[in-house]
Amino acid sequence: MDAQEAKFYLAVLAVAIVTGIIILYFMLSFVRQHRRYVRLQKERIYAEIVTLERERRRIASDLHDDIGPMLSSIKLNITCLDTELPQDLEIISKAGSYIDETIGSLRTISNNLMPGTLLRKGLEEAIREFTGKMGGPAGLAILIEYAPGLSLGRDREVNLFRIIQEIVHNTIKHARATRLDIHVYAENEQLILATRDNGQGFEGGMYSRKGAGLGLKNLESRTEIMGGRVLMHSVPGKGTQFYFEIPLE
C-alpha cells in the first residue's frame, strides 16, 4: 500500500466516521424529540382530563345548588296565586308539575356530570348506585366485589368511576351480555380492577368502529395518567375481560 492509497482509505474512513456521527446525532435527537412529544402528549391529556372533571364538578354543583332552589322558588310563587277558577287552578297545578319535571331532569343531568355519591361516599357506593340504575333495565346482572378498606384518593376514584362507567355502557351497548362481574381489590401495592362479561365478545374490530373507539381510547388515557396499564381480552362468543393495574403509591 503506498502513501497515496493510505491517504485515500484514511479519507474514506474519516468521511464514514463523520457521516456516522451525523446519522447517530439525528437518530438520537429524533428519539429525544419523540420522547418529548409523548411526554407532552401525556401532560396534555392529563391536563385535559383534570380540567374536564373540574368543570363537570362545577357545573353539577351550580345546577344543584343554584338553579334547583330557583326553580323551587318559582313553583312556590306560582302555587301561592289565589284563585278559585278551575281553569286557573289547573294551569297552576300543570305549571307546578312542569317545574317538578324540570327539577327531575336537572337532577339527572347533575348526577350524570358528577355523581354526588362519588364525592360524598366514595367509589364503592357510587359504583353500586350507578350499576343498580343501569343494569336492571338493560337486563344485565352486574355483580360487584369491592375489597374493604381501599384508600384511593379522590382523583383516582373519579378516574376509576369513569372507566367503570365506560365499561358498563359498552357492555350494555355492544356485548349482548346477561352478566357483568366487576372486581376491585389491591395486590402487591397495585390496585386491580378486573371485569368480565358473558357477552358475544369480538375480534378486535369492535372498538375500531367510530364512536366505540373513542371509549377505549378514554380507558387508556385514564389508566395512563394514573400510571397504570390495561389489558383487554376478548374471544368471539366468550365474552370480554378487562384488567387494569394501577400503582397504589
Partner 1 sequence: MTNQDITVLIADDHEIFRDGLSLVLLKAPGIRLLGEAENGRELLNLVHQLRPDIVLTDLKMPVMDGIEATREICIKYPGTGVIALSMFDEDEQIMDMLEAGARGYLLKNAGKREIITAVNAVYHDGNYYCISTSQKLAALIAKNRSLSRSEKMEFSSREKEIILLICRQFTAKQIAGKLFLSSRTVEGHRTRILEKMKVRNTAGVVIYALKHNLVTEKDLLER
The yes or no reply on residue 72 touching partner 1 (CB under 8 A) is yes
- What distance in Å separates the CA atoms of residue 62 and residue 70, rounded to the nearest whole number? 11
The yes or no reply on residue 210 touching partner 1 (CB under 8 A) is no
> Phi first, then psi: what are they for 231, rounded to 5°?
-120, 140
* Residues contacting residue 190 through CB under 8 Å, at least 6 positions apart: 228, 245, 246, 247, 248
Contacting partner 1 (CB under 8 A), which of 31, 38, 41, 69? 69
The yes or no reply on residue 70 touching partner 1 (CB under 8 A) is yes
* Residues contacting residue 151 through CB under 8 Å, at least 6 positions apart: none
Contact region with partner 1 (CB under 8 A), list: 78-86, 158-166, 187-195, 218-226:
78-86
**Residue number with CB closer to partner 1 (65 or 187):** 65
The yes or no reply on residue 128 touching partner 1 (CB under 8 A) is no
Q: Where are the alpha helices (DSSP H) in 114-201?
A: 116-121, 123-138, 154-170
The yes or no reply on residue 74 touching partner 1 (CB under 8 A) is yes
In total, the chain counts a number of residues equal to 249
Least Å distance, CB 135 to partner 1, is: 13
Site for partner 1 in 166-185 (CB under 8 A): none
Least Å distance, CB 115 to partner 1, is: 9
The yes or no reply on residue 82 touching partner 1 (CB under 8 A) is yes
- 201 within 8 A of 239, measured Cβ to Cβ: yes
Least Å distance, CB 177 to partner 1, is: 23
**Residue number with CB closer to partner 1 (131 or 223):** 131
Burial profile 125-139: b = 16 or more Cβ within 10 angstroms, e = fewer: ebbbbbbeebbeebe
The yes or no reply on residue 121 touching partner 1 (CB under 8 A) is yes
The yes or no reply on residue 64 touching partner 1 (CB under 8 A) is yes
Which H or E run includes 143? strand 141-146
Cell numbers standing for residue 209: 368502529
Least Å distance, CB 130 to partner 1, is: 13
> Site residues (CB under 8 A) for partner 1?
64-66, 68-77, 79-80, 82, 96, 99-100, 103, 107, 111, 116-117, 120-121
